[in-house]
Structure 1
Amino acid sequence: MRELKAAGKNAWAAGQTEERMKDYKKEIEQLLDQVGEQKPDPVAEILERINGSKYVCVFGLGTISHPIVAAIRNFTTLQIDFVCDNDPAKWGTYYHQNLKCLSPDELAGFGNDVAVLIATQSYREIHEQLKKRGLNNIHVMTEYRLLNQAYLQRPENLEVIRRNAVRMVDLLSDEQSRRILLVLISNWFLFSIEGAGYRGIFSRDQYYPSDIIQLRPDEVFVDAGAYNGDTLLEFVDRSGKEFKSIFAFELDRNNFTDLERACGQLDPALRNKIALYNCGLWDEQTEISYKSGEAGSESSCMNVIGSPGESGRAVRLSDITGDAEVSFIKMDIEGSELKALLGAEEVIRNQKPKLAVCVYHRPEHLWEIPSYLKSLVPEYRIFLRHHTNLEYETVCYAVP
């Protein structure tokens, strides 16, 4: 009798899950129907409204302001007149080559003659602050939507997104992942300051969510996109310094110098277990071009591989690690994740490591990367987590 009751309960739970999955599919389809009926494109409409303003100001001078300003300059006809920040130390100083930083009081003096583009994760707080000062022409123009506007506004791509997003609902292993999928796609098209944004799906512990990733004492960790050593050092700390070895890859020469310096400060016993590679990961051994950042800064938040500038060596992960028993792979490599995963096929198929792979650099990576990982290891459980209040840092987790 107990077995029958348990079976009945499990069948009921499975039915509830299946019904909720149908709801997500329906919501995605309804969302994209709504988008398909919108004229003009929301981003184009915002840009047109901003272009009609006498002045344009970017508010915020933190890390994310740099790629946003670059995207505005590279992908729109907008002319930015000045910037603004709440930090008094920045007032009167010039940023982004030629833009003077005003105080909020100075900015308020322009009234409705100025269009303000918020470039900070605290967009709701800044929006409220500016509204109280009498400013009304306020927008959040994210880098993601500017870089991917051409892809997202093509009618034929709406059907591609619809088909693959519906498939993803079945592929994902928990409710939270499916909700994140829906919110991400919604924000591609309907992002607003007053709307849900990303706060409802934001979670901390990037690369180490406790409900998905558990570290073991003998981890062999691959850090692809090791930057200045920040994620590598976090891994060392989270592992309690109990790990077998680390393979760290960083293409940008400036960042690699910082990475070497950071590792050089570790205890020699730990440093000797870390192999550093000044190269990128790809699906073949080749030379690739990339846009370099200044020392101590990320090259860019998105899509830098293939950009004119520096050149460097790229390798296949499977060729480097050889017979090493890789147990955990983290990737954040500016849109090259799928190419790198193709070059890691043997490692993934044979060793089934845990994976934490960024999927926010290109829209299609949101479904292409999870689908590819599942094709290599059908028993992988696939999860999505989102780790900022803006479009950055969506990570696909795959665990056996």
Structure 2
Amino acid sequence: MSEIEIRYIDHTAIPYNKRVCLYGVGKGGAESLKLLRQIRPDLEVVFFADTYQSGSFDGFEILTPQALADRKDEYDLILICSCYYPEIITNLYSLGIESAVGFSWPKFYGYQFLPDELVSLNGEINFILKSLHSDTDRALFKFLCEARIAGSELVDLVYVSENSGNFIFKELKPAKIFPEHTTSSYFDFVDLSKVEYAVQAGVYDGSEALFLSGLKELKMLYGFEPLGYTAIAEAARSKLSDSGKFSLIPKGLWNCEALADFAYDGSASFVKGAVDFQSTGTVQLTTLTEEAGRLSIPRLDLLIADIENAEIPMLEGAMEVIERDRPQLAICFYHSKKQFTGIPLMLMNQLKDYVFKVGHYSEGLDESVFYAIPEEKFVEK
């Protein structure tokens, strides 16, 4: 046998007209099947495989790893629809199977829209477009929406490592098409002269916190960061402390008070899910409504958030304060397709007399920010 090769591909890299086996009968397998049926109908899915499951899945026979070894003449390629693909490839290799690759869809099935999903979301998307402030906001949202369709010609999947990739825009880039919406992440449409008390959900390295703490009008920034000061760059810690305008709360914002499992991955660290308050979760979650009372926050003027797909539960736990104080909001909404439509719909349906805008701050599909600015605080630029 040749030396083991751990490969990871996306749907564009699969050779045409091959017989494929999908390994994994969980959500990754189900979503991968939907993707291939819609985007790669030339491929023939012949069966599923799984380490622990047997029987059938969606009408397909489920094979064991040993059965895959015994029936190698019945398929051309195994697509492993699991984040554990390196371990699975290694196991299959020990059985003499060298045709298995990690499939990128499990990484992105919560990120890109399948064509039929967009059809089902047509009403919601039209509502968002109608409610956005300007033609430019609508054009940018439509552009981002089209780029998030699986198989979009607007982006390429570019690998940053052997097992990690990002969707990068091709010739058409947001910064060139929408320059006024791509200047300053979190702050493009915010009137900072009206910000005395701010909350940042997800402080990470402290760069935005440093900028806000330097504003003459700011009296206090409350930063919520589950990783505490360990997340903040060393050079920023002393500056924030010396400013007298920064208070770090080592908790994550959510829609309830609980403990949570937490995945540590630098700037991409995320809450894996709230668990019972009495259990042994690794980080403390809280609501902004509760913390505003505990900290005696006089008023909320600005809320910014980049918390790796926890923005919707955070907003649910902050809505009482938001409706009371009418702050300016800058909320990341790119981490999942659920967020991409869910955050605009949530804020547009719940907030009255607000202006809604969109910004985008990267060469790829990451770093989209949804702005909600009270009409009385909005300054046309």
Question: Which band: TM-score by shorter chain?
Answer: 0.5 to 0.7
Distance in 1 of aligned mates of 2:283 and 2:132: 36
Amino acid at match of 1:306: G
Q: 1:50 to 1:320 in 2, by over 3 A?
A: farther
Partner residue in 2 for 1:152: 113
Partner residue in 2 for 1:305: 272
Partner residue in 2 for 1:171: 131
1:196 correspondence with 2:196? no
Alignment check: 8 A CA contact 1:291 1:310 kept? no
1:389 correspondence with 2:350? no
**SS in structure 2 opposite 1:344?**
helix
Structure 2: tracts of 5 or more residues without a match: 1-8, 19-79, 88-102, 157-169, 375-381
How far 1:197 moved relative to its partner?
4.9
Instruction: Say which of 180, 186, 199 aligns to 1:207.
Output: 186
Distance in 1 of aligned mates of 2:371 and 2:105: 21
Partner residue in 2 for 1:228: 205
Distance in 1 of aligned mates of 2:183 and 2:115: 34
Identity %: 22
Q: 1:262 to 1:341 in 2, by over 3 A?
A: farther
How far 1:161 moved relative to its partner?
2.6
Alignment check: 8 A CA contact 1:373 1:380 kept? no
Equivalent pairs counted in the alignment come to 265
Partner residue in 2 for 1:398: 372
Partner residue in 2 for 1:37: none
Q: 1:186 to 1:195 in 2, by over 3 A?
A: farther
CA deviation digits over 1:213-263, x for unaligned, max 9?
A: 1112651010100002111012123x24x311111011135xx32438455
Alignment check: 8 A CA contact 1:260 1:276 kept? no
1:361 correspondence with 2:338? no
Q: How does 1:1-400 map to 2 (within 5 A)?
A: 45-49=11-15, 75=83, 146-148=107-109, 152-153=113-114, 155=116, 157-189=117-149, 190=152, 191-193=154-156, 194-199=170-175, 200-201=177-178, 203-209=182-188, 212-216=189-193, 219-237=196-214, 239-240=215-216, 242-253=217-228, 256-259=229-232, 261-262=234-235, 264-266=237-239, 270-271=243-244, 273-293=245-265, 297-300=266-269, 305-306=272-273, 311-322=282-293, 324-400=298-374
* TM-score, normalised by the number of residues in structure 1: 0.58
Alignment check: 8 A CA contact 1:382 1:396 kept? yes
* TM-score, normalised by the number of residues in structure 2: 0.61
Structure 1: tracts of 5 or more residues without a match: 1-42, 53-71, 80-140
Specify which structure has the higher proportion of strand: 2
Q: 1:47 to 1:396 in 2, by over 3 A?
A: same
Amino acid at match of 1:158: L
Q: 1:195 to 1:148 in 2, by over 3 A?
A: farther
Amino acid at match of 1:276: L
CA deviation digits over 1:254-298, x for unaligned, max 9?
A: xx3243845541276623x322111100000001112112xxx31
Amino acid at match of 1:231: E
Alignment check: 8 A CA contact 1:328 1:354 kept? yes
Amino acid at match of 1:313: Q
Distance in 2 of aligned mates of 1:251 and 1:148: 26
Distance in 2 of aligned mates of 1:331 and 1:150: 19
How far 1:329 moved relative to its partner?
0.4
Distance in 1 of aligned mates of 2:121 and 2:131: 15
CA deviation digits over 1:358-378, x for unaligned, max 9?
A: 000111222221222233321
How far 1:77 moved relative to its partner?
6.0
Cα RMSD (Å): 3.5
Distance in 2 of aligned mates of 1:307 and 1:319: 17
